[in-house]
Every structure is written in C-alpha cells, then in structure tokens.
Amino acid sequence: MIKVTPEAARQIQISASQGNTENLALRIAATKNDDGSFHYGMGFDEDKDGDIAVTSEGVKIIVSAISADLLKDTTLDYVELEPGKSQFIFMNPNDPNYTPPSDN
C-alpha cells in the first residue's frame, strides 16, 4: 500500500522522538481537490476503527479507508529540494500531477 524510504523513516523517527509521540502511528491522509489535484496530510495519531495499518522501514502507518484508494502504491520520501531545505514528498502514481523521477 504505502512505502516509506529509509530517509523518510529516519526523519519520522526523529520527529516522533522530538514530539514524544514514539508510541503513536503515522497517519497519512489524501483528499482529491475539485480540480483533481491531491492534498496530503500527515501526523501522529492513534488507530481508529476502520483504519488500515501497514509497517514500512519500521514505521507504523495508518490510513482511513477513504484515503486508502488514493494512496495505493504511494512512496513517502524525505529529500533535499535545495541546499539546506528538505521536506517530505509523496510519490503517488494515482495523483494526476505526479511525474515519476527519471532514472538518470
């Protein structure tokens, strides 16, 4: 369902430690905007009825049943977009605005 890269896993673990939320799963959500683009959200949360849970790179991830189809086969990565500025990115083949990285 959802994969986490080793870089993303490290940053998630750092964030969980800093926020004292090591005992919570990472909730990832996606919604489809009126124009067809996707909006993503994530944060630490407890499991709720109907959630789907997966573990990737040692990170427990939960998603609602509503978000599950939108997030199918998504990879969460943590990359440096410009020197000194890193952020999480969603590589989601279901998102019409997604362009796969080149293999250069």
Fold (CATH) for 2-91: Hypothetical Protein Aq_1857; Chain: A; (2.60.300)
How confident is the model over 9-49, as pLDDT tens digits? 999 999 999 999 999 999 999 999 999 889 999 999 999 99
Q: Which of 29, 39, 99, 17 is nearest to 68 (CA)?
A: 29
- Domain residue spans in the chain? 2-91
For 6, 59, 72, the CA distances from 14, given in Å and listed in that order, are: 12, 12, 25
Percent of the chain with pLDDT over 90: 83
| b/e map 43-59, b = 16+ CB within 10 Å | ebeeeeeebeebebbeb
Q: The pTM is what?
A: 0.89
Give me 53's structure tokens. 């849970």
Provide mean pLDDT across the span 87-93: 95
pLDDT, the chain, mean: 93
Contact (CB, 8 A) for 51 and 60: no
